[in-house]
Amino acid sequence: MKLRFAFLPVLCLLLAAIPALAGTIYDDGPINGTVDAWTLNFGFGVADTFTVSAGTSRMTGLSFGAWLTPGDVLQTVEVSMTSNPFSGTTYFDQVVSFSQSNCATNSYGYNVCTETGSFAGPTLANGTYWLNLQNATLNNNSDPVYWDENSGIGCTSPGCPSEATCNDCIAPGLLPAESFTLYGNSTATTPEPSSFLLFGSGLLSVIGFIRRKRF
């Protein structure tokens, strides 16, 4: 029984030391599906800024809104994260597989779908970066893929709405923002005050247990 009481605070100490999940790293707002969208295949690409603001974070996933011809299924998109749109320092560049859900037909006759993909992304410090989407592939490669434009309406993250551009635009900021959410894990290790309290109680319990065992 003494071992159990001594072990419990130590377990709390270990749990407190595990980095907390950050969940959503950046949210640029929900899918609109009614205004416009921008091409992500046939050599075209779109870039939006995102901000990491909750401590150093490892990027692990992305969801975004896509406009597709009915019957089309998005398969992959080249996803990159850079210091400038399509240029500068490259932190991540990978072809990512996506799963498609929540499709609904809009007034233009397109299926507007949520596309979700996961990846082993980079660890990024606080700051602003560019998310670039291009080279999308479909089950039917003859049709275009479009990234839903939402102008950042309903976004919830510091730094939103995103600044946006395309790989054939003259300069950044020529497009309204697009709908997307980036996910990841916080790797910040600075303990909160409660963690210090757990540490203190755990250490005292360990010391007490050792003293009982020795004497």
Percentage of residues in the chain with pLDDT exceeding 90?
A: 71
Rg (alpha carbons) of the chain, rounded to whole number: 23
Please tell me the number of Cα atoms within 13 Å of 111 on its side-chain side: 17
> Which H or E run includes 194?
helix 193-214
For 109-118, what is each residue's pLDDT tens digit? Answer: 999 999 999 9
- Chain centre distance of CA 52: 10
Residues 6 or more apart whose CB falls under 8 angstroms from that of 86 comprise: 45, 47, 80, 130, 132, 134, 167
> Can you say how many angstroms the Cα of residue 44 is from the centroid of all Cα atoms in its chain?
22
Average pLDDT over residues 59-73: 98
pTM for the predicted model, two decimal places:
0.78
| Selected residue with higher pLDDT from 120 and 4 | 120
Whole-number Å distance between alpha carbons of 59 and 136: 20
Q: What is the pLDDT of residues 133-159, one digit of tens each?
A: 999 999 988 999 999 999 999 999 999
Cis? peptide before 161, omega within 30° of 0: yes
Tens of pLDDT, residues 198-212? 444 444 443 343 333
- pLDDT score of 173: 79
| Residue 135 CB-half CA count within 13 A | 10
